[in-house]
Structure 1
Amino acid sequence: MNTLTNCPRGCETTIIKIHASGSLKQRLVSFGLMKGARVTLLEYAPRKSTVEVKVGKMRLALRKEESDMIEVEYEAK
């Protein structure tokens, strides 16, 4: 399973599934992170503790635990 955490910098991905539930899933969806959404991985924090992504015109910082729950599809360059 490819997760958002495994993508290289600059990678453009499509979300396949979010493996979260309850309030966390609702929060991610409210930011535009939902099935079929296009996401660009911009930057990693040291040790990949957080991930900066771009969804539409919005930039988000996600914890590693959250980005591990987002299954994505991307093409290796």
Structure 2
Amino acid sequence: MRTLREVKPGETVAVGRLKGAGALRRRIMDMGITKGTKIYVRKIAPLGDPIEITVRGYELSIRKEEADQIEIV
């Protein structure tokens, strides 16, 4: 499966599954990123970190390591 890190700016994707465990997984879920949630990738910084996304009507910046834990459909 593809991860959120592989998505290009301007694409909208849906969350398929969250990998990882413990505090990192809980942090991702606390941001509102759960299975089936639509994510719009606004832009990616020149070096790839951070990634700006829109989730549930609000904007977030996440790190590459966090984006690798989010599998998309």
Same fold, TM-score > 0.5, yes or no = yes
Name the Cα RMSD after superposition.
0.9
Q: TM-score by structure 1 length?
A: 0.88
Per-residue deviation, 1:51? 0.6
Partner of 1:59: 59
Partner of 1:38: 38
Identity %: 30
Looking at structure 2, the residues matched to 29 and 45 of structure 1 have their Cα atoms a distance apart, in angstroms, of 23
Q: Which runs of 4+ in 1 moved over 3 A?
A: none
Aligned length in residues: 73
Q: TM-score by structure 2 length?
A: 0.93
Report Cα offsets for 1:34-76 as digits up to 9, x if no partner.
1111110011011212111110111111110110111001xxx
Q: Which blocks of at least 5 consecutive residues in structure 1 are unaligned?
A: none
Q: Does 1:69 align with 2:69?
A: yes
Per-residue deviation, 1:24? 1.2
Q: Secondary structure in 1 aligned to 2:62?
A: strand
Q: Aligned letter for 1:44?
A: I
